[in-house]
Amino acid sequence: MSDDQLDDALAERRQELFNLRFQSATGALENPARLKHAKREIARILTVRNERELAKEIGG
pLDDT, position 24: 95
Tens of pLDDT along 8-60?
999 999 999 999 999 999 999 999 999 999 999 999 999 999 999 999 999 86
pTM of the prediction? 0.88
Contact 24, 35 (CB under 8 A): yes
pLDDT, position 60: 67
Rounded to 10°, the helix 33-59/3-26 angle is: 150
Report the C-alpha gap between 43 and 2 in whole angstroms.
17
- What are the sequence ranges of the domains in the chain? 3-59
Q: Please name the fold of domain 3-59.
A: Helix Hairpins (1.10.287)
